[in-house]
Structure 1
Amino acid sequence: MAYQNLISELKENILYVTINREKALNALNAATLSELADVIEYAGKTDEVRGVILTGAGEKAFVAGADIKEFSDYSGKQGEELARKGHENVFNAIENSPKPFIAAINGFALGGGLELAMACHMRIAADTAKLGLPEVTLGLIPGYGGTQRLTQLVGKGKAIELITTANMVTATVAENIGLVNYVVPQASLISKAEELLNTIKLRAPLAVAAAIKSVIASLNEEDGYAKEIQEFGKCFETEDFKEGVTAFIEKRKASFIGK
Structure 2
Amino acid sequence: MGVQLHRGAVAEVIIDFPPVNAVPADGWLALAEAVAAAGADSDTRVVLLAAEGRGFCAGVDIKEMQRTEGHEALIAANRGCAAAFAAVYDCPVPVITAVHGFCLGGGIGLAGNADLVIAADDAVFGLPEVDRGALGAATHLARLVPHQLMRTMVYTCRTVPASLLHGFGTVLEVVPPDQLRAAARRVAAEIAGKDPVVIRAAKASLNGIDPMDVKRSYRFEQGFTFELNLNGAGDRARQRFVEGR
Distance in 2, Cα, partners of 1:103 & 1:153 = 13
In structure 2, what is the equivalent of residue 163 of structure 1?
154
Distance in 2, Cα, partners of 1:128 & 1:189 = 11
Alignment of 1:94 onto 2:99: no
Letter in 2 for 1:56: A
Distance in 2, Cα, partners of 1:121 & 1:174 = 14
CA 1:221/1:139 → structure 2, altered by over 3 Å: closer, same or farther?
A: closer
Alignment of 1:187 onto 2:173: no
Deviation at 1:195?
1.1
Match of 1:218 among 167, 187, 209: 209
In structure 2, what is the equivalent of residue 8 of structure 1?
5
Distance in 1, Cα, partners of 2:169 & 2:134 = 25
Match of 2:24 among 20, 25, 29: 29
Distance in 2, Cα, partners of 1:31 & 1:80 = 11
Letter in 2 for 1:141: L
Alignment of 1:38 onto 2:33: yes
Distance in 2, Cα, partners of 1:181 & 1:81 = 33
RMSD: 2.2
Distance in 2, Cα, partners of 1:42 & 1:80 = 24
Whether the 8 Å CA contact 2:24–2:60 is kept in 1: the answer is yes
Q: Secondary structure at the match of 1:61?
A: coil
Whether the 8 Å CA contact 1:5–1:31 is kept in 2: the answer is no
> Residues 239-258 of structure 1 correspond to what in structure 2 (within 5 A)?
none
In structure 2, what is the equivalent of residue 244 of structure 1?
none
Match of 1:115 among 83, 91, 109: 109
In structure 2, what is the equivalent of residue 206 of structure 1?
197
Alignment of 1:18 onto 2:9: no
Deviation at 1:119?
1.8
Deviation at 1:220?
5.2
Name structure 1 gaps, 5 residues minimum.
Answer: 223-259
Q: Could you list the per-position Cα deviations for residues 83-135 of structure 1 after superposition, in whole angstroms to 9, with x for gaps in the alignment? A: 34532x21111111111111100211111112222121111110011111110
CA 1:74/1:171 → structure 2, altered by over 3 Å: closer, same or farther?
A: farther
Distance in 2, Cα, partners of 1:22 & 1:178 = 31
Letter in 2 for 1:14: V
Distance in 2, Cα, partners of 1:69 & 1:207 = 44
In structure 2, what is the equivalent of residue 54 of structure 1?
49
Distance in 1, Cα, partners of 2:89 & 2:70 = 27
Letter in 1 for 2:190: T
Which deviates the most, 65-74 or 36-45?
Answer: 65-74
Deviation at 1:7?
2.6
Whether the 8 Å CA contact 2:101–2:123 is kept in 1: the answer is yes
- Higher RCO (CA-CA < 8 Å; seq separation 6+): 2
Rg larger in structure: 1
Whether the 8 Å CA contact 1:27–1:113 is kept in 2: the answer is no
Q: Could you list the per-position Cα deviations for residues 29-67 of structure 1 after superposition, in whole angstroms to 9, with x for gaps in the alignment? A: 112112112211211210121111111112x21011210
**Identical-pair percentage:** 30
Distance in 1, Cα, partners of 2:61 & 2:91 = 25
In structure 2, what is the equivalent of residue 176 of structure 1?
167
